[in-house]
Chain A
Amino acid sequence: MKPEILIIDDEEVVLMLIKRLVVKTGLHNTPQLFTNGMEAITFIHEYNTKNQPFLVFLDINMPAFDGWEFLDMLNNTPLENQVNVIIITSSVNQSDKAKSKEFSEVIGYIEKPVTEEMMKEVRKIETIAPYFQ
């Protein structure tokens, strides 16, 4: 079963850019777009059908409900579904990268801008590779 793909970023232009790459590299034709983490959490809980895995492209610095809060919330409300997160951030701080490793859901960390080549690499990540075979 292919994972449902969610893209979370407070900037519309970035959402559009990432969506284009997701579609172009064949990960998903209709990824879900969110401008804050809260809406995405709600979406995941509403589509909590059995076995439906989720792959989330998550921005960290957002004004309202930021990436860290999203990850905390995810940990506090355990789901049976597989939720994998790839962080896409404009931050180049090593501390952010180190912090991301504390979350077991995080399987990738990309510094913006995302290129087509980077997106092609995503499907090769061990944890999610089986979904795309």
Chain B
Amino acid sequence: MIKDQQTYTILIIEDNPGDRLLVDTYLEESVLVPRITGVESYREAANLLEKRSDFDIILLDLSLPDMSGEELIKAVIDIAGNIPVVVLTGYSDVEFSRKSVKLGIADYLLKDDLTSSILYKSVIYSIERKKVFNQLEDSEKRYKDLFQLSPIPKWVYDLQNLKFLDANQAAVMTYGYSYEEFRQMSVKDLIPDEDLDMLKDTIQKVKETDKSTPRFSGEFRHRKKNGDIIVAETSSNYLEFDGKPARMMLANDITFKKKYVEAIEVQNAKLKDIAWIQSHVVRAPLARLMGLVNLLAEDEVTTEEKQTYTKLIMDSATELDTIIRDITEKTEQIDIKEI
């Protein structure tokens, strides 16, 4: 038999020296480098696992001097973390073996039936399966984190009755409702009464939207728990949640941004107003002044006329001065920091 070249770090929890020897022998037959550590009680195992977590697998005998049976399985699963646990027992009890698998052990082997190849297969299979399982758990956690830890409020609602099925921390923070309160509410509870018709229209459109395309729903007014109204920019995506058609929605609070834009629009209007004054009011006396200067340059102008024109030029200049002061004053009043 060709031996497995890989190194396996194995913890055996077994108090019977004969059984321990048997397991060691079987392992050495199929694995080139088994790095075996043996302990004889639950307490020893617990102490060891507190310090070390580098085991690839744990082989567990079900009757130890300080603990046994179901209680022992639960206790070992608890301290094993991500390490797969294979149970070795002298008793054949189908019901119990099924139950122990449910508790989280990787495999259940009868000592009487044990051979080198059965043990080897079980070890390899348990290690590989646990690896895949751990990866799956990691990726599920990652996706959950993406939803839960997102700084933007997100929730999932039932497309039929609009009830919230899930809500993230940012939603809880922004809206003031606890997670449990969200679960009792529906999307309608966030919408001010006067906007409910608009919500109805939107939901209708959402239901008609192709499931595979995300939908930008636009701006909505939302009511927080404390009664404050915020403006949220929302978009959503179809998903199935616990087998029900649902939407995952993202609601970005743009209240401040909107206020800022409005303030900029007001400022813009003021600046346009100033630009208008600039072209109409300023240019009038200026054009008059230029016309008068042209006149002064003519040869046939009498001294008396010259005096009249000079006075008119001065009047226009004074008017211009007043207008410019007015513009300066108005411009100084514009301050976007007022928001």
Contacts and interface: CB of A to CB of B under 8 A. Distances in A.
Contacts of B280: 61, 90-91, 93
A14 B279 contact: no
A13 interface: yes
Contact of A13 (B283, B286, B312): B312
B33 interface: no
A20 B286 CA distance: 19
Contacts of B288: 11, 13-14, 17, 90, 112-113
Contacts of A116: 294
Contacts of B290: 112-113
A91 B287 CA distance: 10
A35 to B, nearest CB: 14
Which secondary structure dominates chain B's binding surface? helix
Interface in A41-69: 61
A121 to B, nearest CB: 16
B289 to A, nearest CB: 8
Contact of A92 (B283, B292, B316): B283
A92 B294 contact: no
B295 interface: yes
Interface size class of A (residues with CB under 8 A): 10 to 19
B291 A90 contact: no
Contacts of B279: 91-93
Contacts of B294: 113, 115-116
Contacts of B284: 11, 61, 90, 112
Nearest to A10: B284
Q: Which of A20, A90, A115, A116 gathers most chain B CB within 10 Å?
A: A90
B292 A17 contact: yes
A112 B283 contact: yes
Interface string B263-296: 0000000000000000110011011101110110
A111 B286 CA distance: 12
Nearest to A93: B279
Q: Which of B286, B295, B316 gathers most chain A CB within 10 Å?
A: B295
Interface string B119-163: 000000000000000000000000000000000000000000000
Interface string A99-133: 00000000000011111100000000000000000
Given A13-B291, A92-B283, 17 more contacts: A11-B288, A13-B288, A13-B312, A14-B288, A14-B291, A17-B288, A17-B291, A20-B295, A61-B280, A61-B284, A90-B284, A91-B280, A91-B283, A112-B291, A113-B287, A114-B291, A115-B294
27 contacts: A11-B284, A11-B288, A13-B292, A13-B312, A13-B316, A14-B287, A17-B288, A17-B291, A17-B295, A20-B295, A61-B280, A61-B284, A90-B280, A91-B279, A91-B283, A92-B279, A92-B283, A93-B279, A93-B280, A111-B287, A112-B283, A112-B287, A112-B290, A113-B288, A113-B291, A113-B294, A116-B294
